[in-house]
Structure 1
Amino acid sequence: MNTVGTPAPAVGQIWQDNDPRIENRLVWIERISETHAHVRQVALTASNEPVPLPGVRRTRIRLDRFRPTTTGYRYISGGDA
């Protein structure tokens, strides 16, 4: 599912949306089901800790979208990667 060097999605990881229309959208994986990651949008502190953005709803993303393509996401940090 993932390209070389890209870890499988896991709880606690931070990924960045690659959609060119959305600048710098970061999501933090809260939990994973069989087919989806349940995420919330976050900002990073100076020490790279995720801080949930107020007023932004949680959402689900299909696991197969966690790959570095223009319609996918790229791994930033966190988890057991």
Structure 2
Amino acid sequence: MNETPTPAAGQIWQDNDKRGYGRSVRIVEIDGAHAVVELVTPRGAGHDGAKPGRRTRIRLDRFRPISTGYRYVGEADR
């Protein structure tokens, strides 16, 4: 069974929320109770939303494999 690691810079996480299907982010830095993330893959094919590279903040408690959280994918290629 895969364990969910503690969020850290350089990790890739994928959105579990069905509204964000396919969206994945790379953690750039940890800032208090939030992670600063950079969009790697936008949600859903054909979506005209955010472009890869866009940065935002996500609460650290959302980095767990629940329906509205994120699941760990792996380390980013450096």
Q: TM above 0.5, one fold?
A: yes
* Partner Cα separation in structure 2 for residue 53 and residue 62 of structure 1: 20
Structure 2 length normalisation: TM-score?
0.77
Greater than 4 Å deviation, 4+ residue runs: none
In the other structure, the counterpart of 1:47 is none
**Percent of aligned positions that are identical:** 58
Structure 1 length normalisation: TM-score?
0.74
Count of residue pairs the alignment pairs up: 66
* Partner Cα separation in structure 2 for residue 61 and residue 22 of structure 1: 14
Unaligned 5+ segments in structure 2 are 42-50
The RMSD of aligned alpha carbons is 1.8
1:76 to 57, 65, 73: 73
* Partner Cα separation in structure 1 for residue 20 and residue 8 of structure 2: 23
Unaligned 5+ segments in structure 1 are 44-51
In the other structure, the counterpart of 2:33 is 35
